């Protein structure tokens, strides 16, 4: 004989189905909300990356501005600051990149490399500028100015030599006025003209009250100028390299910002899709649970109706038998 469930057992079955359905809905909602939370976390990391990129760009611009106000006394402190700021920004970019990963991490690594190069080039420029001199009375330029003044004093009585010397001095001034290494050629031409006049006037071995001949003084003046011109060319080249490095830092920062924007946009799309899937999943699970509960309740109702019908029939039979 087939065993039938009691009414109480059927109620427990209904409750079990309901609990299982609600658990399924909770799991679906939890998974969906977890996905949304993950996307929001990505957005938060992207925001932190954007701050780090902006700070790196600001640091580079600030260092470049400080370099333009630099003097000889501040070079060493400035180079120490370069190292400290560069290391601090590099650590932050590395940490943010490692936490984010993917295309953004690669973009931040590129920015770190360019920033490191820029800091190195700016430090090289500061060192070279200090050696050359920030003004005509500093560094190698001060030595050239001293030799120029001494030679001018010795040649002031020789008008035929003084004219050629003035050409050398003006060419040297133009070199620094226009900061064009090619202008050093004008100095060399004027210096050769001065040497030619010395030879023509047989003044190369003239000493007067000085310890060295005019030929030796002019030769030393030319050698000092060559050292200054070489140092100036290297300094200006380092300056241009630092300026180009700053441009590359800003370009890399722009790329990193684009990568951040792309990450935020992608995270937003994925979060929206997760919300849609969660709504669909919870809705479908709710419909399923409702359908199952209706079926179970119908099953209970049918079973209960049948039991009541049988009971009524039995009571009728008993009543008729007694009659």
In a domain, 84, yes or no: no
In a domain, 272, yes or no: no
Q: What is the pLDDT of residue 168?
A: 92
Separation in Å, CA 260 to CA 28, 50, 225, 257, 303: 30, 7, 52, 5, 63
pLDDT mean over 182-192: 93
In a domain, 219, yes or no: yes
Number of independent structural domains in the chain: 1
Q: What is the pLDDT of residue 29?
A: 45
More confident residue, 194 or 23: 194
Straight-line distance from the first to the last Cα atom of the chain, in angstroms, rounded to the nearest whole number:
32
In a domain, 122, yes or no: no
More confident residue, 296 or 236: 236
Q: Is the pLDDT of residue 183 over 80?
A: yes
In a domain, 193, yes or no: yes
In a domain, 198, yes or no: yes
Highest mean pLDDT among 34-38, 39-43, 242-246: 242-246
Q: Which residues of 48-83 are buried (b: 16+ CB within 10 A; e: fewer)?
A: bbbebbeebbebbeebbebbeebeeebbeebbebbe
- The proportion of the chain whose per-residue pLDDT surpasses 70, expressed as a percent, equals 67
Quote the domain boundaries for residue 173. 139-238
Distance, C-alpha 229 to centroid of its chain: 36
The model's confidence at residue 62, banded by pLDDT at 50, 70 and 90, is very high
133-147, 188-202, 293-307: least confidently modelled range: 293-307
Which two structure tokens, joined as six digits, stand for 170? 């003006």
Which two structure tokens, joined as six digits, stand for 21? 């359905």
Q: What is the pLDDT of residue 195?
A: 94
In a domain, 177, yes or no: yes
In a domain, 218, yes or no: yes
Which two structure tokens, joined as six digits, stand for 238? 């380092």
């Amino acid at each position: 004989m087939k065993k039938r469930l009691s009414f109480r057992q059927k109620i427990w079955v209904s409750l079990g189905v309901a609990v299982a359905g609600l658990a399924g809905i909770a799991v679906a909602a939890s998974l969906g909300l977890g996905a949304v939370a993950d996307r929001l976390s990505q957005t938060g990391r992207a925001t932190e990356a954007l701050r780090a990129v902006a700070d790196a760009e600001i640091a580079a611009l600030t260092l470049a501005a400080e370099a333009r106000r630099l003097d000889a006394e501040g070079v060493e402190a400035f180079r120490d600051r370069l190292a400290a700021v560069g290391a601090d920004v590099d650590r932050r970019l590395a940490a943010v990149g490692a936490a984010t990963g993917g295309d953004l991490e690669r973009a931040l690594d590129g920015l770190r490399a360019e920033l490191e190069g820029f800091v190195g080039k700016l430090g090289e420029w500061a060192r070279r500028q200090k050696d050359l001199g920030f003004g005509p009375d500093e560094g190698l330029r001060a030595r050239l100015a001293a030799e120029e003044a001494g030679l001018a004093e010795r040649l002031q009585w020789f008008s035929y030599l003084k004219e050629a010397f003035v050409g050398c001095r003006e060419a040297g001034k133009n070199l620094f006025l226009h900061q064009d290494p090619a202008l050093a050629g004008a100095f060399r031409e004027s210096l050769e003209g001065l040497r030619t006049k010395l030879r023509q006037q047989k003044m190369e071995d003239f000493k007067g009250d000085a310890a060295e001949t005019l030929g030796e003084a002019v030769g030393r003046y030319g050698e000092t100028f060559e050292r200054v011109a070489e140092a100036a060319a290297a300094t200006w080249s380092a300056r241009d390299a630092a300026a180009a490095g700053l441009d590359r830092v800003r370009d890399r920062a722009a790329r990193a910002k684009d990568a951040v924007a792309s990450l935020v946009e992608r995270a937003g799309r994925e979060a929206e899709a997760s919300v849609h899937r969660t709504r669909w999943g919870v809705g479908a699970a709710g419909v399923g649970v409702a359908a199952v509960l209706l079926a179970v309740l119908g099953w209970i109702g049918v079973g209960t109706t049948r039991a009541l019908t049988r009971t009524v029939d039995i009571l009728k039979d008993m009543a008729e038998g007694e009659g």
